[in-house]
Amino acid sequence: MNIHWRMAELWLLKQSRGLTEQENSELDSCLKLNAKYAQRLAEQYNFGYMASMTGDETWLLEISTDIDKMERYYESKRPAFFEK
């Protein structure tokens, strides 16, 4: 995810100097977006587990599709040098 690249950059800057108010705000935004993504993905995995435990194959397929979409979306945001 692009926010991970920026979050890492801001963290590294923070190790060598204090962040500006704008950089701190940007870091907070990156952390918030990351937390929302992680929460949503974890929720989908939990729903997948429940669907699996109850034997609901239709629901499990829907959840698997949602998880795949979420993960593929962020995979496609990798820097170009990772692409074949």
What's the 3-state SS for the chain?
CHHHHHHHHHHHHHHHCCCCHHHHHHHHHHHHHHHHHHHHHHHHHHHHHHHHHHCCHHHHHHHHHHHHHHHHHHHCCCCHHHCC
- The yes-or-no verdict on residue 64 having pLDDT over 90 is yes
pTM of the model: 0.72
Condensed to tens digits (0 to 9), the pLDDT of residues 32-57 reads 999 999 999 999 999 999 999 999 99
Torsion sign over Cα 23, 26, 30, 36:
positive
Burial class of residue 67, CB neighbours in 10 A (0-12, 13-18, 19+): middle
